[in-house]
Amino acid sequence: MAPDGRKDRWMERRTDGKTYGRMDGQSQNNIPLPMAGDNNNEIRAYASFSKTPISERNVDTFFSNITISMNMLSVSIYISMNMLSISKYISMNMLSVSKYISMNMLSASKYKEQIKLVTRDICKTWIPPLPLPLIL
């Protein structure tokens, strides 16, 4: 357990300025963590809040996982941008189609009004036929 009572800490800084950590299987030790530049052949890189060191064979996997996650993020951003542009395109097309339909309906209503006016004029000037008994 760390001096402040937390159990999940794997690294702590003491008053002497050095960084100490717990290795797997040990509850506490006073071994400073090896830093880069120390005369130590075994430099361990610790993942954040993890007690297991990343060995050299896992470093490539670690960075390839980061690369894969970055690629997946860029692919998802690309897909979302494409979906956004497709939805904008569809909405613009729907807007233009609705404008076209409304313009056609408006012109059809104007055309219908013109037909009414023409038929009214024809009915005014049209002479009805004489009844058949009057012709005989």
CA–CA gap between residue 122 and residue 30 (Å, rounded): 111
pLDDT digits (tens, 9 = 90+) for 69-123: 777 888 888 888 888 888 888 888 888 888 888 887 777 777 777 777 777 776 6
Given a contact cutoff of 8 angstroms between Cβ atoms, the answer to whether 10 and 46 are in contact is yes
Report pLDDT digits (tens) over 22-72: 444 444 444 555 455 444 444 444 444 445 555 555 666 666 677 777 778
Burial 86-118 (b: 16+ CB within 10 A, else e): eeeeeeeeeeeeeeeeeeeeeeeeeeeeeeeee
pTM above 0.75, yes or no: no
What single-letter DSSP state applies at residue 32?
B
Instruction: Please give the structure tokens belonging to residue 82.
Output: 């494409």
Domain layout of the chain by residue ranges: 1-54, 56-116
